[in-house]
A and B are shown apart, each in its own frame.
Chain A
Amino acid sequence: MAKVVAVTGNEAVANALRQVNPDVCGIYPITPQTDMMQRYASYISNGKVDTEAILVESEHSSMSACIGASAAGGRVVTATSSQGLALMWEMLHIASGDRLPIIMPVVNRALSAPLNIHGDHSDAMGCRDTGWIQIWSENGQEAYDNTIQAFRVGEHMDIRLPVMVCMDGFIISHSIERMEYLEDDEVKKFVGPFKNLFPLLDLEKPKSYGPLILTDLYHEYKKAQHEVMLKVKDVVLEVAKDFEKMSGRKYGLFETYRLEDADIAIVILNSAAGTTKDVVDELRDKGIKAGLLKPRLFRPFPYEEMAEALKNARAVCVMDRSDSFGGYGPLFMEVSSALYQLKNRPALINKIYGLGGRDYLPSHGEMVFNELAEIAAGGKIKAYKEYIGVRE
């Protein structure tokens, strides 16, 4: 029986982790994640979980310790944001290179300088090439559901990769929403016991983790990592199917909203997708064929499926809440790569919005749709990339 609650995103994800009951958890504070791990620490102090915490002295050590713990043989979690994720960067590659299924909620926050604690996607986008699976969440419910599903995906015996579950800092992490919790035993059953693969603590069969591999095999090793990533999509869908059976909530590689017959569409991640859906509804009421695509699985990126979903639109705007300075936004680059393979492609523009927690308002979405409508009607593209919501 589902339980309806009113909780913050951080609280929901902490509860998901409690229900999964991992063996080891790396804990280090950083806004806006802090409150999630604080809650988890109180579960440990009050005997609600079997988890042993490592109260590390930095995020670099947190990820290092998580790698050690995961290699030792067991279920491992940690959580972070922003600078903390940036500090982990070196170790993120090692977690994925060693094929360790560590699960890490990332409460998305801007990167310094200037210092800013509010939500944008610069942190997770900055480590999109680290070999981690990335699953993005619109709201607290999705963050909760995705966290539970992440264990099944990362720990799948054909995958064995670390997973980041992303949600927007403050907007989701600190806002109270109505959501549904699954029962503890449902989650336990869904996730299942941890299956070991080459545990370091198997003393009878000693393993060496982390060899030096030079020109002889490194290239092949990395190719293998890419190939395993290609299997992730199917596993994500398989896990989502099981999750739907249990919860009634449906998940895919991405979500489409009134996109099937849309002439104009916005591609947008996380919480701003919720705002944009309202705009879509308003435009539809006016007879304008607007639609939306909200990516969920960003790594690996579902290029073919996304191209298929967007192929009938005439003009599409990809909206990025992070930037690759001097280039396009990271989401735009992916969608652009996906669409290039089509014979007839929609016109494509890129808007950068909401950096460092700048509000994304329905009027912004409306403005973008108006521009797309002009382009769809044969108007000229004024700028391929543009910042919106800028103070003049």
Chain B
Amino acid sequence: MATPLTLKELSKKEELFTHGHRMCAGCGAPTIVKMVLLATEYPVVAANATGCLEVSTCISEYTAWKIPWIHTAFENAAATLSGVETMYRSLKKQGKIDKDVKFIAFGGDGGTYDIGFQSLSGAMERGHDMIYICYDNGAYMNTGIQRSSATPMGADTTTCPAGSCVPGKLRPRKNLTKIMAEHNIPYAAQASPSHWMDLMKKVRKAHELPGAKFLNVISPCNRGWRSKTNDAITLSRLAVNTCYWPLYEIEEGITKVTYTPKEKLPLLDFIKPQGRFKHLFEPGNEWLLKAMQEEVDREWAKLQAAEKCGC
């Protein structure tokens, strides 16, 4: 019997990702990992791409992971875990292991959308039984806030700095969740730590579906977003309620929005508290704010249309 997804019951479960890690105060990633592991009811092996989560959780003789965990390099968490999962299948087939084991890869957006894109695509296409979870904080935060293909339009980063000629990033984000769903995998979804029940249900559902699954989770980074350390959950909630980060799932190709905001808030509510967007409020950048809102509206409309048409 699975642990009910109530705070009372979940608080009694052992945390498999422990205190003592060295993630920044107010980082979204450790909260996400805790939620994912609390939702997981099976023995689980995790792989980690090089990045904030990895460098801060296993240092010299110290590890924050109470589960088997492997890190090899930046661009290959999916490939590495596909090897672990293949060995598991081989040993199971040969009768050398009998337990049901689940496999989860964690990678940031740089290691997932960009440098790890090929190995992720390969692992998804091969259909390894795993969930790949991207904690998307919208830039290469570990190396110091460099632009990635997940960086939102208009954001100021250290490699597309807002200057006198260029007002930050000019291109929209890559829609990785959709791209992963197009691999004909059983399940791809977006989640947010602000909506923990939704996130945990998605993890549970993904574990029960055989094959390769992809979960994209927004992960506020106060260093890169130039926001307050106690704002991670507030900001991820605003991301959802402005429809910048809609919560949805694509199961066997069928799109379902899992949470529709009662009132769709203007994008400004999400970007105003973040210093990475402050240059947008200077005279002359109004067009970019408009383009950003239009981009969110367009994507949200496309998502609703996809849900409506049952595709």
CB within 8 Å of B: which residues of A? 23-24, 26, 50-52, 54-58, 60-62, 64-74, 76, 90-91, 94, 98, 200-203, 206-214, 216-217
- B81-107 vs A: 1/0 string, CB under 8 Å? 111111111110110010101000000
Of B4-12, B114-122, B219-227, which stretch is located at the interface?
B114-122
Contact partner of A200 among B63, B84, B86, B118, CB < 8 A?
B84
Q: Which of B68, B101, B119, B125 has the most CB of A within 10 A?
A: B68
Tell me the bound Cα distance from A10 to B150 in angstroms. Answer: 44
Cβ of B69 and Cβ of A209 under 8 Å apart?
Answer: yes
Cβ of B125 and Cβ of A54 under 8 Å apart?
Answer: no
Tell me the bound Cα distance from A334 to B160 in angstroms. Answer: 47
Cβ of A203 and Cβ of B69 under 8 Å apart?
Answer: no
**8 tightest Cβ-Cβ pairs between the two chains A and B:** A68-B83, A57-B122, A65-B83, A210-B71, A72-B87, A61-B79, A64-B79, A69-B83
Enumerate chain A residues within 8 angstroms of B126, measured Cβ to Cβ.
54-56
Q: What's the least CB distance linking B217 to chain A, in Å? A: 22
Q: What's the least CB distance linking B66 to chain A, in Å? A: 6
Q: With A23-B87, A54-B126, A72-B87 as given contacts, are A61 and B119 in contact (CB-CB < 8 Å)?
A: yes
Cβ of A217 and Cβ of B91 under 8 Å apart?
Answer: no
* Residue of B whose beta carbon sits closest to that of A208: B63
Cβ of B76 and Cβ of A91 under 8 Å apart?
Answer: yes
Cβ of A61 and Cβ of B90 under 8 Å apart?
Answer: no
A-side interface mostly = mixed
Q: What's the least CB distance linking B134 to chain A, in Å? A: 17
Cβ of A210 and Cβ of B70 under 8 Å apart?
Answer: yes
Interface size on B, residues (CB 8 A): 47
Cβ of A74 and Cβ of B59 under 8 Å apart?
Answer: no
Tell me the bound Cα distance from A172 to B45 in angstroms. Answer: 42
Cβ of A60 and Cβ of B119 under 8 Å apart?
Answer: yes
Tell me the bound Cα distance from A24 to B43 in angstroms. Answer: 22
Q: With A61-B122, A91-B73, A217-B60 as given contacts, are A67 and B68 in contact (CB-CB < 8 Å)?
A: no
B258, CB-defined interface residue at 8 Å: no
Cβ of A23 and Cβ of B60 under 8 Å apart?
Answer: no
Tell me the bound Cα distance from A201 to B43 in angstroms. Answer: 10
* Residue of A whose beta carbon sits closest to that of B45: A200
Cβ of B86 and Cβ of A24 under 8 Å apart?
Answer: yes
Tell me the bound Cα distance from A38 to B23 in angstroms. Answer: 46
Q: What's the least CB distance linking B199 to chain A, in Å? A: 24
Enumerate chain B residues within 8 angstroms of A209, measured Cβ to Cβ.
69-72
Cβ of A57 and Cβ of B94 under 8 Å apart?
Answer: no
Q: What's the least CB distance linking B111 to chain A, in Å? A: 12
In the complex, which residues 36-93 of chain B have their Cβ closer than 8 Å to any Cβ of chain A?
43, 45, 47-48, 54-55, 58-61, 63, 65-73, 75-76, 79-91, 93
Enumerate chain A residues within 8 angstroms of B59, measured Cβ to Cβ.
211-214
Q: Which of A24, A72, A201 has the most CB of B within 10 A?
A: A72
Enumerate chain A residues within 8 angstroms of B97, measured Cβ to Cβ.
201
Cβ of B55 and Cβ of A74 under 8 Å apart?
Answer: no
Tell me the bound Cα distance from A2 to B233 in angstroms. Answer: 69
Cβ of B63 and Cβ of A73 under 8 Å apart?
Answer: no
Q: Which of B71, B122, B123 has the most CB of A within 10 A?
A: B122
Cβ of A200 and Cβ of B75 under 8 Å apart?
Answer: no
Enumerate chain A residues within 8 angstroms of B83, measured Cβ to Cβ.
24, 26, 54, 64-72, 76
16 contacts between A and B (CB under 8 A): A50-B94, A54-B126, A55-B126, A58-B119, A61-B82, A64-B79, A67-B80, A68-B80, A69-B84, A69-B86, A72-B91, A200-B45, A202-B68, A211-B71, A212-B60, A214-B59
Enumerate chain B residues within 8 angstroms of A76, measured Cβ to Cβ.
83, 87
Give 8 A-B pairs besides A61-B76, A74-B87, A210-B70 with Cβ atoms closer than 8 angstroms: A58-B122, A64-B72, A65-B86, A67-B83, A200-B84, A201-B45, A203-B68, A206-B65
Tell me the bound Cα distance from A58 to B120 in angstroms. Answer: 12
Contact partner of A67 among B72, B121, B123, CB < 8 A?
B72
Contact partner of A68 among B60, B70, B93, CB < 8 A?
B70
Q: With A71-B70, A212-B58 as given contacts, are A65 and B82 in contact (CB-CB < 8 Å)?
A: yes
Contact partner of B73 among A50, A54, A90, CB < 8 A?
A90
Enumerate chain A residues within 8 angstroms of B123, measured Cβ to Cβ.
61
Q: What's the least CB distance linking B272 to chain A, in Å? A: 36
* Residue of B whose beta carbon sits closest to that of A93: B73
Enumerate chain A residues within 8 angstroms of B93, measured Cβ to Cβ.
50, 52
